[in-house]
Amino acid sequence: MFGKKERLTMMKQKYFSVIALLGALYLWGATPAAAADSQCEDVWATDAEGNLTIHADRVPGEPVFIPLLADGKRMEVLVIRGGDGKVRLAFNTCQVCSGSPRAYFEPQVGGVVCRNCGNFFSAEQVGIASKGCNPLAVPGVEATASGDIVVPAAVLAAHADAFRNWKRGQ
């Protein structure tokens, strides 16, 4: 068996090896966020007019956050497939507290959680219009013959003001 000193030396070597490997992966762009983005890059597309098309057959069961620029403001659309197989989408801000810089959602198993109030919303609750704390529903959504979902550029621009303080200072 190894003595205490030898075990400590071996543990240090393993620790530094893991740190070096993680550093190399980070430098090569293999971060968890990059991996998630690469897995979902074929879920959506925008056209020259700024319309957003979501390929419904490619939407996974975990949330996909689609970064957009509308009316000069950064914004996101959240899309997720519920347990019932339906695709749901909403703006990534809260219906009630959209003026807050922390009024956005982050993924959590089975849905999303509000960074402002901490409320959890299941995939089935995303995109439901209500007068309470909930991801802001996207109106004016059109389905195409192929089953894709189209959000017109005008709808995105009309809701850009809900993102006026979004993630400011974050």
Q: Give residue-wise pLDDT tens across range 44-103.
A: 999 999 999 999 999 999 999 999 998 888 999 999 999 999 999 999 998 888 878 888
Task: Assess whether 92 and 146 both reside in one domain.
Answer: yes
Structure tokens at 75: 């914004």
| DSSP letter assigned to residue 56 | G
Q: Name the residue with higher pLDDT: 14 or 147.
A: 147
pLDDT the model gives residue 121: 93
Task: Assess whether 147 and 96 both reside in one domain.
Answer: yes
Task: Assess whether 41 and 109 both reside in one domain.
Answer: yes
**Could you give the number of structural domains in the chain?**
2
Q: Is residue 169 part of a domain?
A: no
CA pair distance 111, 121, nearest whole angstrom:
6
pLDDT the model gives residue 22: 42
Q: Quick check: 119 pLDDT over 50?
A: yes
- We report the CATH number of the domain holding residue 86 as 2.102.10
Q: Quick check: 24 pLDDT over 60?
A: no
| DSSP letter assigned to residue 84 | T
Q: The domain containing residue 135 runs over which residues?
A: 37-163
Task: Assess whether 13 and 71 both reside in one domain.
Answer: no
Task: Assess whether 145 and 77 both reside in one domain.
Answer: yes
CA diameter of the chain: 71
Distance of CA 47 to the CA centre of its chain: 20
Task: Assess whether 3 and 71 both reside in one domain.
Answer: no
CA atoms within 13 A on the CB side of 133: 15
Do 59 and 79 touch, CB atoms closer than 8 A? yes
pLDDT the model gives residue 9: 64
Task: Assess whether 20 and 44 both reside in one domain.
Answer: no
Q: Is residue 158 part of a domain?
A: yes
Q: Is residue 130 part of a domain?
A: yes
Task: Assess whether 82 and 15 both reside in one domain.
Answer: no
Task: Assess whether 130 and 50 both reside in one domain.
Answer: yes
pLDDT the model gives residue 89: 93
pLDDT the model gives residue 10: 55
pTM value is 0.74
Q: Is residue 170 part of a domain?
A: no
Do 75 and 166 touch, CB atoms closer than 8 A? yes
Structure tokens at 13: 């070597």
**Rounded to the nearest 5 degrees, what angle is found at the Cα of 148, between the Cα atoms of 144 and 150?**
75
Burial of 167 (0-12, 13-18, 19+ CB in 10 A): middle
pLDDT the model gives residue 155: 95
Mean pLDDT of the chain: 80
Q: What is the pLDDT of residues 104-118, one digit of tens each?
A: 999 999 899 999 889
